[in-house]
Structure 1
Amino acid sequence: MARIAVIGAGMGALAAAARLAVAGHRVAVYERTETYGGALRRVERDGFSFDTGPGLLPLPAVYRDLFLKTGREPLEECVELVQVDPSSRHVFPDGTRVSLPNTSRAGVVSALEDGLGPAAARRWGDFLVRAREAWDRSRRPLLEEPLWPNWQVLAEREPYPAVPHRKLLRTRTAGTLAEVGAWELRDPRLTALLESHALAYGLDPRRTPASAAVLPYMEHAFGTWYVRGGMRELARAVYERCLARRVEFHFGAEAVGVLEKDGRAAGLKLADGSVAEADLVVAGVAPGVLDRLARGTRPRGDGGVPAQRGAASRLTVLLALRGGRPEGTAHRTVVHTEDRAAELESLFGAAGGLPARPTVTVLRPDDPALVPDAGHEAVTVTSVVPAGAEGPWDAYAETLITAAGRAVPDLRGRLVRHEVRTPADIAGETGAEGGAVPAPALAAAGGRLLHPSNGTALPGLFTVGGWSHPGGGLPHAGMSGALVAGLIVEGPEFRGSQ
């Protein structure tokens, strides 16, 4: 039985802690803030409650597995999972509106046929078939196994089976998500639908590899889910599972260094001057924080995957509205920008900045727990912004509210008040520089969107969470916890779930 110190109480760290504790280890979590959950936070004001991090859960099987492996009570006995249907509604610049059903390829194709026409629906259906092949080729190495020592194979191999495109006597295949949209989908609305899945993670579709086709495929194949009471309830359930497995928690305990002894990680130095000795250390922190804690530590092996830095962030506007949620309202609506090229150039161009007309995601949960009474509604509006951007946030929030008005009739007339959550708020809660939000790992693109392995060059030090393999997103965080626990319990020969 080893003593294991975990830095941070984000979802990946909590998942690792619960699994390690049930394996018989003594686990203690040291979190610099006063609560658990990482980005899964909640704001409560005057009877309204808002999620400030991820608002939906893809791939709930990851957390079902966590609860199955760590106790008697399954996930559904600890939280109420609700399948969101429609999975999403899309409002396009030309006024077209399409609602996509949950976990139904045939239903999605039918909805697109009604909204965009038979040809567009057929092309999207064919795309999903190719996306499934990309998923089948990349699922295990990118999500279920420790990062391969020869990770360069993943960096060089494009799993998406692109359709050859002939132009000016040349034949090419799509290498980026933008090229998939332009060459295979050939409808600006379908392109916007495809690219919105990358943009939601702060990825530039012009540079994101075609392998990102797995992102819309995951939603169509495995569904989109909500946790009744707000997504913060998922963090609460995982935290309570850790307590039930006798994980110790120390809040307000900031780690300022990793102790080393005989060439191994041997515990933590804390900001109050105390020391927490341990046999192993698991760090669920952003790259810049890890640099300060363990100087010079790199991913295991020569030529390891470098840490991602400078990712995009989010601006979130929390809207308290008078008037109840109308029947038939979609839980999630994506309002697409009228000028995608300008939006991408603002977000990812050399100058950087805030798009004048951003794409926004509007979340309107059907959940009485979030409002003071049936005569009110809690709405969350989110848009991607550059990490480290400084606003002016109040003025830009008005831009998001205007865009959201295309999805919420009489939005301004119903508005009681609003609150703005900025990249600085994310940085304060997660420690990520500039409030950066990690993207999931993707194959190809020279490994640019892979994340460092969960083992490091310092024996006894492991990394977990969105900034390490397999990257960002709630399911990926849970998977990282499973991988770290496997590496510690079974050793370096661990090859992932079977």
Structure 2
Amino acid sequence: MARIAVIGAGMGAMAGAARLAVAGHRVTVYERTETYGGAVRRLERDGFAFDTGPGVLPLPAVWRDLFLKTGKEPLEACVELTQVDPAARHVFADGTEVSLPNASRAGVVAALDAALGPGAGDRWGDFLVRAREAWDRTRRPLLEEPLWPNWPVLAEREPYPAVPHKRLLRTRRAGTLAEVGAWELRDPRLTALLEGHALAYGLDPRVAPASAAVLPYLEHAFGTWYVRGGIRELARAVYERCLARRVEFGFGAEVTGVREKDGRAAGVRLADGTVAEADFVVAGVAPGALPDVPPPAVGEVPPQRGLPSRLTVLLALRGPRPAGTAHRTVVHTPDRDGELESLFGSGGQGATAPRPTVTVLRPDDPRLVPDAGHEAVTLTATVPAAASAQACADRTEAMITAAERALPDLRDRLLWHESRTPADVAGATGAPGGAVPAPALAAAGGALLHPANSTALPGLFTAGGWSHPGGGLPHAGMSGALVAGLIVEGPDFRGSR
């Protein structure tokens, strides 16, 4: 039985902790804040409750696997999962609207044809077939296996089978997501639908590789899910599973460094001056959070830099949620170039997107409201990391204005609103500027890969969104599985099955 110190109580770190405890190890989690979940938090006020992190759950099989492997109770015995149907309603810049059914290619094709015109659905359906091929090529190396030692193969090879495109007497293939939209989808609304998935993860579609096509495919193939009571309930269930497996937690326990002895990790140093000895250390923290964690060695994947953050606006509304309301509505910006420049351009850190793309979440969940005469609504948008208070205030107002396109009586019903800014994200996760990590993607020269879960210091491993396989709830869960496999089975571990 090994002693294992886990730094941070984020979702990936807790997933690894539960698996390691089941394998017979003594696991202690040290969390500098007073609660668990990392970015998966909740705000409660006046009888309203809101998720302040992710609001929907893709690929729940990752968490089902965790509960299956760590105890007798399945995930569904610990939380109530429901499919979100329609998966999303989209409001485009020209006023066109479409509601896309959950996990139904035929239904999506029919809906797009009806809303956008004949042929639109088939173009999107054909794109999904190609996206599936990219998913099949990258699923194991980017989600289920430790990062390959020869990772440059993933960096150089574009797995998306782009359609040949003739341009100026030359035949080209799309290399970026924006080119996929322009050359293969050929409709600004379909392009907005495609690019919206990248934007939600903080990716610039103009430079994101075509392999980012797996992001809408993942949602299409495995559905969009909601946890009754909010996604925070998933964090609670994972925390309680850890406790049931005798994982120990220390809250308000800030780790200031990793103890090294005889050339390997041997424990952690705490802010109160104590040292907790351990045989292995798992760091579930952002790059730079611990000054003596060694950077990747020469030739290894460096940490991602320059990623944006997320602004969340919580709306308490008088009046009941109307019957038939979509759980999720994406209001697309009428100024795509302006939004992308505000986020990814040279002046993005202080710029304000006058009309941002906004996701409006309106769960049909009585647990989130004081009574049936009220509604809890959450708005989210991608914003620059370290955005100033004034920039966040401006964007909050712009987000509420954009949301009125989906909810016309919003301001008349508004009781109060609160915002969760990049500074709040930084406080919850420790990520500089509140940056939010993106999922690992192939191609693009490795710019969207993440450092391996093993490090240059033997005995030290990393879990969570800032290490392989990257950000997002499914990826965080898999990072925990990979770290547990590497510790339990050693360097010969070849991945989850």
Note the C-alpha offset of 1:9.
0.1
- Give CA deviations for 1:143-191 in whole Å, capped at 9, x if unaligned: 0000000000000000000001001101100000000000000000000
Equivalent of 1:341 in 326, 337, 361: 337
- Give CA deviations for 1:408-453 in whole Å, capped at 9, x if unaligned: 1200000000001100000000000000000000000000000000
SS of 1:399's partner is: helix
Note the C-alpha offset of 1:354.
2.2
SS of 1:438's partner is: coil
Matched residue, 2:389: 391
Matched residue, 2:456: 457
Provide the rounded CA distance (Å) in 2 between the counterparts of 1:168 and 1:400: 40
Provide the rounded CA distance (Å) in 1 between the counterparts of 2:52 and 2:236: 15
Contact 1:313 1:387 in 2 (8 A): yes
Pair 1:363 & 2:373 matched: no
Contact 2:6 2:17 in 1 (8 A): yes
Note the C-alpha offset of 1:391.
3.5
Amino acid at match of 1:320: A
Matched residue, 2:352: 354
Matched residue, 2:484: 485
Note the C-alpha offset of 1:389.
1.0
SS of 2:338's partner is: helix
Provide the rounded CA distance (Å) in 2 between the counterparts of 1:47 and 1:195: 36
Matched residue, 1:203: 203
Note the C-alpha offset of 1:231.
0.6
Provide the rounded CA distance (Å) in 2 between the counterparts of 1:154 and 1:144: 14
Matched residue, 2:262: 262
Residue pairs, 1:164-183, within 5 angstroms: 164-183=164-183
SS of 2:282's partner is: strand
Q: Percent identity?
A: 81
Amino acid at match of 1:165: H
Residue pairs, 1:249-328, within 5 angstroms: 249-290=249-290, 292-294=291-293, 297-299=294-296, 302-328=298-324
Amino acid at match of 2:373: G
Gaps of 5+ in 2: none
Contact 1:202 1:312 in 2 (8 A): yes
Contact 1:298 1:304 in 2 (8 A): no
Provide the rounded CA distance (Å) in 2 between the counterparts of 1:87 and 1:354: 29
Contact 1:287 1:309 in 2 (8 A): no
RMSD between aligned residues? 0.7
Provide the rounded CA distance (Å) in 2 between the counterparts of 1:304 and 1:451: 9
Pair 1:382 & 2:380 matched: yes
Note the C-alpha offset of 1:399.
1.0
SS of 1:268's partner is: strand
Provide the rounded CA distance (Å) in 2 between the counterparts of 1:350 and 1:302: 29
Contact 1:307 1:467 in 2 (8 A): yes
Matched residue, 1:4: 4
Amino acid at match of 1:68: L
TM-score relative to the length of structure 2: 0.99
Gaps of 5+ in 1: none
Contact 1:176 1:205 in 2 (8 A): yes
Note the C-alpha offset of 1:75.
0.1
- How many residue pairs align between the two structures? 494
Contact 1:199 1:205 in 2 (8 A): yes
Provide the rounded CA distance (Å) in 1 between the counterparts of 2:236 and 2:177: 36
1:309 to 1:471, Cα distance in 2 relative to 1, 3 A: same
Provide the rounded CA distance (Å) in 1 between the counterparts of 2:226 and 2:484: 27
Matched residue, 1:103: 103
SS of 1:288's partner is: coil
Amino acid at match of 1:145: E
> Where does structure 1 differ by over 4 angstroms across 4 or more consecutive aligned residues?
none
